[in-house]
Amino acid sequence: MFRHSRLKLARIVSLLGSVAVAAQQRPQELPADLVREVIHNELNEPQGTQLKWRYVSEKEADGKQETREVIETGHGVLDRLIAIGGKPLGGAQQQQEANRLLQISHSPVQQDKLEQSRRKDVEQCNAFLKMIPDAFVFEYSGEHAGQNSWKLTFQPKPGYAPPSWQGKILHQMSGEMWVDADQKRLASVSGQLLNEVKFAGGLLGHLEKGGRFRVARAEISRGQWKTVEMLVDMNGKALVFKTISVKQKQR
Protein backbone atom coordinates (compact mmCIF):
# COMPACT_ATOMS: atom_id res chain seq x y z
CA MET A 1 0.00 0.00 0.00
CA PHE A 2 2.73 2.43 1.06
CA ARG A 3 4.85 1.49 -2.00
CA HIS A 4 1.86 2.05 -4.31
CA SER A 5 1.27 5.51 -2.77
CA ARG A 6 4.93 6.41 -3.24
CA LEU A 7 4.73 5.46 -6.92
CA LYS A 8 1.61 7.60 -7.40
CA LEU A 9 3.28 10.52 -5.61
CA ALA A 10 6.40 10.18 -7.74
CA ARG A 11 4.31 10.23 -10.89
CA ILE A 12 2.46 13.37 -9.76
CA VAL A 13 5.74 15.12 -8.94
CA SER A 14 7.12 14.11 -12.35
CA LEU A 15 4.06 15.49 -14.14
CA LEU A 16 4.24 18.73 -12.16
CA GLY A 17 7.91 19.01 -13.10
CA SER A 18 7.07 18.58 -16.77
CA VAL A 19 4.44 21.30 -16.53
CA ALA A 20 6.93 23.61 -14.84
CA VAL A 21 9.52 23.01 -17.59
CA ALA A 22 6.92 23.70 -20.29
CA ALA A 23 5.93 26.90 -18.50
CA GLN A 24 9.56 28.01 -18.35
CA GLN A 25 9.91 27.37 -22.06
CA ARG A 26 6.94 29.57 -22.94
CA PRO A 27 8.13 32.75 -24.69
CA GLN A 28 8.13 35.96 -22.67
CA GLU A 29 7.33 38.15 -25.69
CA LEU A 30 3.90 38.85 -27.00
CA PRO A 31 3.13 36.57 -29.98
CA ALA A 32 3.23 39.48 -32.44
CA ASP A 33 6.62 40.64 -31.11
CA LEU A 34 8.07 37.12 -31.38
CA VAL A 35 6.87 36.78 -34.98
CA ARG A 36 8.36 40.17 -35.87
CA GLU A 37 11.71 39.06 -34.42
CA VAL A 38 11.55 35.73 -36.28
CA ILE A 39 10.86 37.45 -39.62
CA HIS A 40 13.70 39.89 -38.96
CA ASN A 41 16.05 36.93 -38.43
CA GLU A 42 14.85 35.27 -41.64
CA LEU A 43 15.55 38.43 -43.64
CA ASN A 44 18.92 39.11 -41.98
CA GLU A 45 20.97 35.93 -41.70
CA PRO A 46 24.22 36.28 -39.72
CA GLN A 47 27.34 37.05 -41.73
CA GLY A 48 29.49 34.05 -42.56
CA THR A 49 26.58 31.61 -42.95
CA GLN A 50 26.26 31.91 -46.73
CA LEU A 51 27.87 28.59 -47.61
CA LYS A 52 27.37 27.09 -51.07
CA TRP A 53 25.55 23.79 -51.32
CA ARG A 54 25.04 20.89 -53.68
CA TYR A 55 21.82 18.95 -53.30
CA VAL A 56 19.08 16.99 -55.06
CA SER A 57 15.68 18.61 -55.67
CA GLU A 58 12.59 16.47 -56.28
CA LYS A 59 9.72 18.49 -57.73
CA GLU A 60 6.24 17.42 -58.78
CA ALA A 61 4.11 20.05 -60.52
CA ASP A 62 0.72 19.39 -62.13
CA GLY A 63 1.43 15.66 -62.38
CA LYS A 64 4.94 16.01 -63.82
CA GLN A 65 7.81 14.81 -61.63
CA GLU A 66 11.43 15.88 -62.14
CA THR A 67 14.60 15.25 -60.14
CA ARG A 68 17.46 17.71 -60.48
CA GLU A 69 20.95 18.02 -59.09
CA VAL A 70 21.45 21.60 -57.94
CA ILE A 71 24.73 23.40 -57.37
CA GLU A 72 25.04 26.84 -55.79
CA THR A 73 27.96 28.89 -57.13
CA GLY A 74 29.32 32.38 -56.66
CA HIS A 75 27.75 33.31 -60.00
CA GLY A 76 24.31 31.83 -59.36
CA VAL A 77 22.55 28.47 -59.14
CA LEU A 78 22.89 25.73 -61.74
CA ASP A 79 20.69 22.64 -61.99
CA ARG A 80 20.96 19.44 -64.03
CA LEU A 81 17.97 17.25 -64.84
CA ILE A 82 18.80 13.67 -63.79
CA ALA A 83 15.41 11.88 -63.73
CA ILE A 84 11.83 12.21 -64.97
CA GLY A 85 9.04 10.40 -63.16
CA GLY A 86 11.64 8.65 -61.02
CA LYS A 87 13.44 7.18 -64.06
CA PRO A 88 17.04 8.24 -64.86
CA LEU A 89 17.57 10.03 -68.16
CA GLY A 90 18.54 8.01 -71.21
CA GLY A 91 21.73 8.63 -73.16
CA ALA A 92 20.21 11.15 -75.58
CA GLN A 93 18.53 13.10 -72.76
CA GLN A 94 21.78 13.19 -70.75
CA GLN A 95 23.62 14.58 -73.77
CA GLN A 96 20.93 17.21 -74.23
CA GLU A 97 21.33 18.32 -70.61
CA ALA A 98 25.12 18.39 -70.95
CA ASN A 99 24.81 20.59 -74.04
CA ARG A 100 22.43 22.93 -72.22
CA LEU A 101 24.81 23.38 -69.30
CA LEU A 102 27.77 23.86 -71.64
CA GLN A 103 25.85 26.57 -73.47
CA ILE A 104 25.05 28.34 -70.20
CA SER A 105 28.67 28.15 -69.04
CA HIS A 106 29.77 29.97 -72.21
CA SER A 107 26.99 32.58 -72.13
CA PRO A 108 27.19 35.43 -69.58
CA VAL A 109 23.80 36.62 -70.86
CA GLN A 110 22.09 33.34 -69.94
CA GLN A 111 23.90 33.28 -66.60
CA ASP A 112 22.59 36.79 -65.87
CA LYS A 113 19.04 35.73 -66.79
CA LEU A 114 19.21 32.77 -64.40
CA GLU A 115 20.55 34.96 -61.61
CA GLN A 116 17.89 37.60 -62.23
CA SER A 117 15.20 34.91 -62.05
CA ARG A 118 16.64 33.63 -58.77
CA ARG A 119 16.79 37.14 -57.32
CA LYS A 120 13.19 37.77 -58.34
CA ASP A 121 12.12 34.62 -56.49
CA VAL A 122 14.05 35.74 -53.40
CA GLU A 123 12.52 39.22 -53.56
CA GLN A 124 9.00 37.81 -53.83
CA CYS A 125 9.64 35.49 -50.89
CA ASN A 126 11.01 38.39 -48.82
CA ALA A 127 7.98 40.51 -49.71
CA PHE A 128 5.71 37.77 -48.34
CA LEU A 129 7.77 37.49 -45.15
CA LYS A 130 7.65 41.26 -44.56
CA MET A 131 3.84 41.21 -44.71
CA ILE A 132 3.38 38.38 -42.19
CA PRO A 133 3.77 40.34 -38.89
CA ASP A 134 1.20 42.96 -39.95
CA ALA A 135 -1.27 40.74 -41.83
CA PHE A 136 -2.23 38.37 -38.99
CA VAL A 137 -3.25 38.04 -35.37
CA PHE A 138 -1.08 35.43 -33.60
CA GLU A 139 -1.61 33.25 -30.55
CA TYR A 140 0.63 30.78 -28.72
CA SER A 141 -0.84 27.30 -28.90
CA GLY A 142 1.82 24.84 -27.75
CA GLU A 143 5.42 23.76 -27.38
CA HIS A 144 7.48 20.83 -28.64
CA ALA A 145 9.92 20.19 -25.80
CA GLY A 146 11.84 17.52 -27.69
CA GLN A 147 12.63 19.92 -30.53
CA ASN A 148 12.59 23.06 -28.34
CA SER A 149 10.12 24.87 -30.56
CA TRP A 150 6.97 26.93 -30.11
CA LYS A 151 3.71 26.71 -32.02
CA LEU A 152 1.68 29.76 -33.00
CA THR A 153 -1.64 29.92 -34.81
CA PHE A 154 -2.66 32.87 -36.98
CA GLN A 155 -5.81 34.46 -38.38
CA PRO A 156 -6.26 37.43 -40.75
CA LYS A 157 -5.95 40.77 -38.92
CA PRO A 158 -9.09 42.90 -39.35
CA GLY A 159 -8.48 46.17 -41.15
CA TYR A 160 -5.19 45.13 -42.79
CA ALA A 161 -4.87 46.51 -46.34
CA PRO A 162 -2.73 44.19 -48.50
CA PRO A 163 -0.23 46.14 -50.67
CA SER A 164 -0.42 43.70 -53.63
CA TRP A 165 -2.54 40.91 -55.12
CA GLN A 166 -0.11 38.42 -53.58
CA GLY A 167 -0.77 40.05 -50.25
CA LYS A 168 -4.51 39.73 -50.83
CA ILE A 169 -4.09 35.96 -51.12
CA LEU A 170 -1.86 35.84 -48.05
CA HIS A 171 -4.32 37.82 -45.93
CA GLN A 172 -7.10 35.30 -46.59
CA MET A 173 -5.07 32.52 -44.96
CA SER A 174 -5.27 30.99 -41.51
CA GLY A 175 -2.86 28.41 -40.19
CA GLU A 176 0.05 27.70 -37.89
CA MET A 177 3.78 28.18 -37.65
CA TRP A 178 6.51 26.53 -35.62
CA VAL A 179 9.40 28.63 -34.35
CA ASP A 180 12.81 27.36 -33.23
CA ALA A 181 13.10 28.56 -29.62
CA ASP A 182 16.91 28.78 -29.51
CA GLN A 183 17.53 30.86 -32.60
CA LYS A 184 14.02 32.26 -33.15
CA ARG A 185 13.93 31.02 -36.72
CA LEU A 186 10.99 29.80 -38.78
CA ALA A 187 10.84 25.99 -38.73
CA SER A 188 7.57 25.57 -40.64
CA VAL A 189 4.46 27.43 -41.70
CA SER A 190 1.21 26.11 -43.17
CA GLY A 191 -2.12 27.63 -44.03
CA GLN A 192 -5.28 27.43 -46.07
CA LEU A 193 -7.59 29.92 -47.78
CA LEU A 194 -10.55 30.81 -45.59
CA ASN A 195 -12.48 32.42 -48.44
CA GLU A 196 -12.52 32.68 -52.21
CA VAL A 197 -10.09 35.33 -53.44
CA LYS A 198 -11.25 37.39 -56.42
CA PHE A 199 -9.06 39.53 -58.66
CA ALA A 200 -10.61 42.75 -60.04
CA GLY A 201 -13.95 41.66 -58.66
CA GLY A 202 -13.60 38.30 -60.35
CA LEU A 203 -13.06 39.69 -63.86
CA LEU A 204 -9.42 38.58 -63.89
CA GLY A 205 -10.07 35.36 -62.05
CA HIS A 206 -10.28 33.86 -58.61
CA LEU A 207 -8.78 31.27 -56.25
CA GLU A 208 -11.15 28.84 -54.57
CA LYS A 209 -11.67 28.55 -50.83
CA GLY A 210 -9.72 25.72 -49.18
CA GLY A 211 -6.45 26.05 -51.11
CA ARG A 212 -3.50 25.22 -48.91
CA PHE A 213 0.27 25.41 -48.60
CA ARG A 214 3.03 24.16 -46.32
CA VAL A 215 6.70 25.12 -46.09
CA ALA A 216 9.23 23.29 -43.88
CA ARG A 217 12.68 24.66 -43.08
CA ALA A 218 15.73 23.18 -41.35
CA GLU A 219 19.10 24.29 -40.03
CA ILE A 220 21.57 22.63 -42.40
CA SER A 221 24.64 24.27 -40.85
CA ARG A 222 25.05 26.45 -37.78
CA GLY A 223 22.90 29.54 -38.28
CA GLN A 224 21.99 28.74 -41.90
CA TRP A 225 18.41 27.68 -42.57
CA LYS A 226 17.02 26.39 -45.85
CA THR A 227 13.60 25.45 -47.17
CA VAL A 228 13.63 21.64 -47.40
CA GLU A 229 10.04 20.89 -48.33
CA MET A 230 7.16 22.77 -49.94
CA LEU A 231 3.57 21.89 -50.81
CA VAL A 232 1.08 24.07 -52.71
CA ASP A 233 -2.42 22.92 -53.63
CA MET A 234 -4.74 25.61 -55.03
CA ASN A 235 -7.45 25.81 -57.68
CA GLY A 236 -9.34 28.57 -59.43
CA LYS A 237 -9.97 30.42 -62.68
CA ALA A 238 -7.98 33.01 -64.64
CA LEU A 239 -9.71 35.45 -67.01
CA VAL A 240 -12.95 33.47 -66.50
CA PHE A 241 -12.00 30.74 -69.00
CA LYS A 242 -8.62 29.33 -67.97
CA THR A 243 -8.52 26.86 -65.09
CA ILE A 244 -5.83 27.46 -62.47
CA SER A 245 -4.49 24.29 -60.89
CA VAL A 246 -1.37 24.84 -58.82
CA LYS A 247 -0.44 21.47 -57.37
CA GLN A 248 3.23 21.41 -56.48
CA LYS A 249 5.42 19.37 -54.15
CA GLN A 250 9.13 19.96 -53.74
CA ARG A 251 11.78 18.75 -51.38
CB atoms within 10 A of CB 225: 19
| pLDDT reading at 171 higher than 80 | yes
Tell me which of 147 and 149 has the higher pLDDT.
Answer: 149
**Please, what's the largest Cα pairwise distance for the chain?**
84
pLDDT at 18: 44
Rounded CA-CA distance 211/165 in Å is 16
In tens, the pLDDT along 183-234 reads 999 999 999 999 988 877 766 677 889 999 999 999 988 888 989 999 988 8
Share of the chain above pLDDT 70, in %: 83
245 pLDDT band (50/70/90 cuts)?
low
The answer to whether the CB of 115 falls within 8 A of the CB of 76 is: yes
111 pLDDT more than 50: yes
The pair phi, psi for residue 114, each rounded to 5°, is: -65, -40
Which pLDDT does position 169 carry in this prediction? 87
In this prediction, residue 72 carries a pLDDT of 86
pLDDT computed for residue 208 by the predictor: 87
Number of neighbouring beta carbons within 10 Å of residue 34: 20
d(CA 234, CA 248): 9
Highest mean pLDDT among 92-96, 114-118, 124-128, 247-251: 92-96
